[in-house]
Amino acid sequence: MFTMSAREFNQSVAKAQRIADDEPVLVTRHGEPAYVLLSIAEYERLRPATSSDGGDAPYSLLKLLSPPEGVEFDDDDDFDEILRDIRKNTPDRPPFEFD
């Protein structure tokens, strides 16, 4: 990542843009990180995609694995059922141990 001060950035925006085509540009203010300049391609690569219904796509594993809104699970019973299925389908697997 290329680093430049806010003063350097203001004096040479075109240079920062050329560099940002290849790598992010970190702009500092008083020696501390303040901004990052990215090419649009890099920005599009980093931002969350949108889902087919036009809403935001899940951006975390927790959100992705959460049940649909309004659906509730009995965690203990569901967990026990999952463990039974795993034990049944993988008999050679060592037993689970929980502290």
Predicted confidence (pLDDT) per residue in 40-49, tens digit: 988 888 876 6
Q: What is the second-level CATH architecture of the domain 2-45?
A: 3-Layer(aba) Sandwich (3.40)
pLDDT(69) > 80: no
Give residue-wise pLDDT tens across range 2-27: 999 999 999 999 999 999 999 999 99
Give Cα separations from 62 to 22, 40, 43, 66, 82 (angstroms).
33, 28, 23, 6, 18
> What is the distance between the alpha carbons of residues 9 and 25, in angstroms, rounded to a whole number?
9
> pTM above the 0.85 mark?
no
DSSP 54: S
C-beta of residue 55 within 8 angstroms of C-beta of residue 47? no
